[in-house]
Amino acid sequence: MSFSAAKTDLNKEVLFDSNFGLRIITLNRPEKLNALNMIMTRNIYEKLIEWKKSSLAKIILLRGINSKALSAGGDVAAIAELCRSDAENGYKMAMKYFELEYRLDYLVATYKEKPYVSLMDGITMGGGAGLSVHAPFRVATENTVFAMPETDIGFFPDAGLSFFLSRMDGEVGKYLGMTSERLYGFDTLISGIATHYVPSKRLDDLIVRLSELDTSDSSSKDYFNVVDKTIDEFSGEPPRDYKYKLGGETRNAIDRCFKHKKIENVFKALKNEGTEWANSTIGTLNKRSPTSIKVALREIQEAKKWNILQAFNNELNLTSYFLKTHDFVEGIEAKLIKKPSVKPVWNPSIISEVSDKLVDTFFKKSKKSPRLNISGDLISVQYLNYPYSYGLPRDIDLEKSITNCIANNVSADSIRDMVFDIFFKVSPNKPGLGIKLDDILFRKQLGKLSN
């Protein structure tokens, strides 16, 4: 994406541009896949606060300097080296970094004054996901690679992803958070991670078009709807012969296996499946930090009850414990610092050694537990569900319409068309609606056949 880049100082790690009412944040650390360090995070936070108060700023747009990565996450390698070289001071500096990162993500999640658009063109992981998934507009491209890789490095799904993952369809959020599984391109739209899908070659034109939008009230719902429809105008269709990675019987198996509250029962359910997918998932989980996956399972379960502020505060509390574990430094050194990467030596090394009592310690809170350093109007925003919904309809909404059709004696041959028409009228230019609806109907039929 080349739009307005020539106007900026390309030596800076984060660039800020303006074009009419559009305000653009460009992550410019390509050699580190735009990993977010303390300076970048602070600069973005301060600029968002400034734009929040500006009557001239109408839309905020986040992008990476190229299509390889929006952001691979926070600069955890630097944090791990701090913790290893000077445990006490390293811990303090790490906590300062994570508090600032989570405060920035919380600001994005509560940025109701302006439409915020994240162009997830390329790798969007960890902290990069935190800057994106809480936004009302999340644009995927054919280059998008989404993952929360934390359990693979001895950490846990953070940056507010406890809130996001716990509200995904079925048990998909648990599956993604525990396995660190990657989703690509159009899959991120069908899964609900992205709200829109735009081919990367159209992004520059989209940016120009967004800069041309004007309004006297950028916080109004009507203006948000205009932004939604504008992005839809640039939408692309799925790849030829596209098949959703987590659809069909795989999705049914995810829901069956990851519905359990105890990790031991998750493994038992996977073994009972006996499929190639299930065996592969067992192998993946066995490579992850046993502590991380057990904490992640409980975190995502409990997050269903957390409001958005509680989610970030509870994650900061979890971070305060994880930074002192063996697995945090071990995982990052083995996976990210050593070249080539090596297999981490986890401690505890197997699931059975991670007791419920040990997991309980990560969730202990007191009056001294760390909290986000926020005040004023920011602290008053404590929603239980995201206030905007511009992506494809959730499974629960499509299933409700299907159930209503059945209750009204709509013929089986007509249900698909009737439900499709209901949602198509709301969002006529959303690609993927038919794919998602067909997958739900297919899975329902599979469920009937297995009973």
CA–CA gap between residue 212 and residue 217 (Å, rounded): 15
Residue 434 is a catalytic residue? no
Sign of CA dihedral 441, 392, 293, 70: positive
CA–CA gap between residue 47 and residue 49 (Å, rounded): 5
Burial of 47 (0-12, 13-18, 19+ CB in 10 A): middle
Residues with Cβ within 8 Å of 381's Cβ and at least 6 positions away in sequence, in order, are 110, 112, 308, 309
Residue 249 is a catalytic residue? no
Do 98 and 152 form a contact (C-beta atoms < 8 A)?
A: no
CA–CA gap between residue 114 and residue 437 (Å, rounded): 31
Catalytic residue among 17, 99, 150, 152: 150
Catalytic residue among 64, 73, 126, 127: 127
Residues 331-354 as b/e (b if ≥16 CB within 10 A, e otherwise) read bbbbbbbeeeeeebebebeebeeb
Burial of 370 (0-12, 13-18, 19+ CB in 10 A): middle
Residue 74 is a catalytic residue? yes
Query: Given phi > 0 = left and psi -120 to 50 = alpha, else beta, which region is 66?
Result: beta
CA–CA gap between residue 242 and residue 254 (Å, rounded): 20
Strands (E), 34-131: 59-64, 69-71, 116-120, 123-125
Sign of CA dihedral 74, 80, 83, 86: negative
CA–CA gap between residue 279 and residue 281 (Å, rounded): 5
CA–CA gap between residue 419 and residue 361 (Å, rounded): 47
Cis peptide before 30 (omega within 30 of 0): no
Residue 360 is a catalytic residue? no
- Other beta carbons within 10 angstroms of residue 52's beta carbon come to 16
CA–CA gap between residue 402 and residue 295 (Å, rounded): 36
CA–CA gap between residue 432 and residue 114 (Å, rounded): 27
Catalytic residue among 21, 73, 74, 160: 74
DSSP symbol at 336: I
DSSP reduced 3-state for 125: strand
Catalytic residue among 99, 121, 158, 315: 158
Q: Distances from the Cα of 148 to the Cαs of 28, 133, 293, 396, in angstroms?
A: 21, 11, 12, 24
Hunting for tokens 């800020």 — which residue is that?
16
Residues marked active site are found at 74, 127, 150, 158
